[in-house]
Amino acid sequence: MRFRHMDTRVTFLGDDSEPTAGQTVWTSQGGDGAAGMAWDWVQIGEGIVAMADPMSVITNLRLLGGEGEVLTAHAAARYLNEFVRALPWQHEVHRAIRGLPH
Q: Per residue in 17-42, pLDDT tens? A: 899 999 999 999 988 899 999 999 99
Per residue in 47-60, pLDDT (tens digit) is: 899 999 999 999 99
List all residues 6 or more positions away from 75 whose beta carbon is below 8 Å from its beta carbon.
Answer: 63, 65
Domain-by-domain residue ranges, the chain? 4-97
Instruction: Tell me the CATH number of domain 4-97, given options 1.10.569.10, 3.40.50.300, 3.75.10.10, 3.10.450.610.
Output: 3.10.450.610
Distances (CA, A) of 14 to 45, 53, 62, 99: 12, 18, 34, 15
What pTM does this model have? Answer: 0.89
Contact 49, 94 (CB under 8 A): yes
DSSP symbol at 69: P
